[in-house]
Structure 1
Amino acid sequence: MTANGTQNTRRTQAERVAESSRRLIDAAIALIAEQGFERTTAAEIGERAGYSRNMVRDRYGSKEAVLEILLETEIAERLLPTLRRERAGTGMDLVLGHVDDLLHGVWTAPENMRAMLVLSFEATAGPIASIRDWYAKLIPRFQAEMAENIALGQRDGSIRADLDAQREAETYVSYGIGLCFRWVMFREGFDLPAEITAWRARLARDYTAT
């Protein structure tokens, strides 16, 4: 019991480990979003999390191991499902739904989004093959999915029949990547939510069958 009569609950070792792991991952996300993975050191992650400079190496062995956890949990298990939620409806609903999911991700998890995007641009020349391979598989898969959604919309009558689904899917993905790149480059001076909203309006206008 404490001096004021309340119960003094002690955390278990597992709870302390879980908290420290969470703080280390959050610190890694913040640092990657700010300065990229290559410029981030294991010591910085430990210090940003409020621990010693050796915490990352003692816990995980290297900052690369932290990156693997970040990719597997924060991005693959949490962020990507938010950006690619299962949706029903017409092909147009699915096309616009992906834009809505992107906007939702930017609003609800901006640091996670920015870290994921910074990693994607670093992947083009970064030394960690796993990052390049991860994104090299993700982008074509998403583009193929978008082409299927456009083709579905052409079949159900919600999207113009004269569009080239494969070409539009490529343009869709490239434009989205361009917006994200500008957001990473101009952190304070680029209003990504506003640009995504305007992009959605253009898609709705230009794709809708008349």
Structure 2
Amino acid sequence: MVVDAPRPARRTQRERRERTESALVAAAAELVVESGLRSLTLARVGERAGYSRGIVNHHFGSKQALVEALAHATQSGFIPGLDQFSPGLERLLAVIERYTAALGDIDVISRAFLLLWAESATSVDLADLFRDRDEGFRSRLRADVEAGVAEGSIRADVHPGDVAVAIMGQLRGVGLQRLLDPDAVATERLRHAVADQWRRALSA
């Protein structure tokens, strides 16, 4: 007797939509990395992803909406394993070390984020979006500094907001250097050096 193999479960409409949108965002990231934001069009994204321009327009409606989706997709899970740390100095140092380490094997999505972030300084369309994301990153860094001061592991005379600005600027700057000249940025060595620098600067 021949028994038919079970048919694979059909994807739900939501799953199909999410799969399509992920493919379109990935295609947009590739094009941004290859040619920059100005050359990004819905037609090119559709072609790269294997869909029509109409599909791209149906899912996002405009180039701006697609770029916003790309910005939100980037850096998701960029710094894994932070849940094991309580807020404070050790988590702050883990963010610094793991962010720097992740730059050693930076993927297309993360490359696209750094390029868009740099371009946001001169792009009205990107400025508000990345300003909000930057403030979110700074607020998390600031919270760790404040928690470290409260628990006594971080010096009481530091300004949490200033520390957050300096750390974020350093990490993003290292990322941009890594994009421009990978051989000049030894992330495996640098990850420890940068974390140790901040430990010495902040420790009570």
The TM-score, its normalising length taken from structure 2, stands at: 0.74
Q: Does 1:94 align with 2:91?
A: yes
Give the equivalent residue in structure 1 for 2:70.
70
Cα 1:194–1:4, aligned 2, differ >3 Å: closer, same or farther? farther
Q: CA deviation at 1:158?
A: 1.4
Answer yes or no: is the 8 Å Cα contact 2:149–2:156 preserved in 1. yes
Answer yes or no: is the 8 Å Cα contact 2:104–2:187 preserved in 1. no
Q: Deviations over 1:164-196 (max 9, x none)?
A: 444333322221221122123235654445433
Q: Provide the aligned C-alpha RMSD in A.
A: 3.6
List runs of 5+ in structure 1 lacking aligned partners. none
The aligned amino acid for 1:126 is S
Equivalent pairs counted in the alignment come to 202
Answer yes or no: is the 8 Å Cα contact 1:43–1:55 preserved in 2. no
Give the equivalent residue in structure 2 for 1:116.
113
- Structure that is richer in helix per residue: 2
Give the equivalent residue in structure 2 for 1:138.
133
52-61 or 172-181: which moved more? 52-61
Q: Does 1:202 align with 2:183?
A: no
Q: CA deviation at 1:162?
A: 4.7
Question: Aligned residues: percent identity?
Answer: 23
The aligned amino acid for 1:114 is R
1-side partners of 2:96 and 2:142: how far apart?
14
Cα 1:153–1:8, aligned 2, differ >3 Å: closer, same or farther? closer
Alignment of 1:1-210 (within 5 A): 5-9=4-8, 11=10, 14=13, 15-52=15-52, 55-57=55-57, 59-72=59-72, 74-75=73-74, 79=76, 88-89=85-86, 91-100=88-97, 102-103=99-100, 106=103, 110-128=107-125, 131-186=126-181, 190-192=185-187, 194-209=189-204
1-side partners of 2:103 and 2:170: how far apart?
16
The TM-score, its normalising length taken from structure 1, stands at: 0.72
Q: Deviations over 1:22-49 (max 9, x none)?
A: 2112111222233332222222211221
